[in-house]
C-alpha cells in the first residue's frame, strides 16, 4: 500500500486535473456561447441591413413612380394646352373666314346696287331720248 502522503498527492492531482477539466469545459462553453451570441448579433445586423436595403428600394420605387406620374401629368397638360391652342387657331380661322365672306357679300351687294343704279340711269336716259324723239 502506498503511503498516505502519496495517496493524498495522487488525490490532490486528480482533483486538480478534474478542476482544470471543469474550468476548461466552462471556458469552452463560455466561448461557444460568445460565438453563438456574436453569430446572432451578426444575423440581426445582416437582417437589419437587408430590411434597410428593402426599405430604400421601396422608397426609390415610390419616388420613381411619383416622377413617372408627374411626367405623365405634365404630358397631359401640355397635350390639353396644345389642343386648346389648335382649337383657338381654328376658331380664329373660322371667324376670319366668316368676316371675309361677309366682306365679299357686301362687295357683291354694292356691285349689284351700283349695277341697278347704272341700269336705272341708262333707262332714264333712254326714256328721255324717246321722249325727245317723240316730240320732234
CA–CA separation, 74 and 69 (whole Å)? 9
Instruction: Kindly report, residue by residue over 25-46, the tens digit of the pLDDT.
Output: 999 999 999 999 999 999 999 9
What is the total residue count of the chain? 136
Residue 126, all three cell numbers: 333712254
**Where does the chain have alpha helices with state H?**
4-135
Instruction: Kindly report, residue by residue over 58-101, the tens digit of the pLDDT.
Output: 999 999 999 999 999 999 999 999 999 999 999 999 999 999 99
CA–CA separation, 130 and 136 (whole Å)? 10
Residue 7, all three cell numbers: 495517496
Cβ-based neighbours of 126, under 8 Å, separated by 6 or more:
none
CA–CA separation, 57 and 65 (whole Å)? 12
Instruction: Kindly report the pTM of this predicted structure.
Output: 0.43
CA–CA separation, 32 and 39 (whole Å)? 10
Amino acid at each position: 500500500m502506498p503511503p498516505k502522503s502519496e495517496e493524498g498527492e495522487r488525490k490532490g492531482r486528480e482533483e486538480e486535473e478534474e478542476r482544470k477539466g471543469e474550468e476548461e469545459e466552462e471556458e469552452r462553453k463560455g466561448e461557444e456561447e460568445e460565438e453563438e451570441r456574436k453569430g446572432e448579433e451578426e444575423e440581426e445586423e445582416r437582417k437589419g441591413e437587408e430590411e434597410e436595403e428593402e426599405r430604400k428600394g421601396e422608397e426609390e420605387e415610390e419616388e420613381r413612380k411619383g416622377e413617372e406620374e408627374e411626367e405623365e401629368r405634365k404630358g397631359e397638360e401640355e397635350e390639353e394646352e396644345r389642343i386648346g391652342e389648335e382649337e383657338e387657331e381654328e376658331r380664329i380661322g373660322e371667324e376670319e373666314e366668316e368676316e371675309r365672306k361677309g366682306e365679299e357679300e357686301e362687295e357683291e351687294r354694292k356691285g349689284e346696287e351700283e349695277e341697278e343704279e347704272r341700269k336705272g340711269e341708262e333707262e332714264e336716259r333712254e326714256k328721255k331720248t324717246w321722249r325727245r324723239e317723240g316730240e320732234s
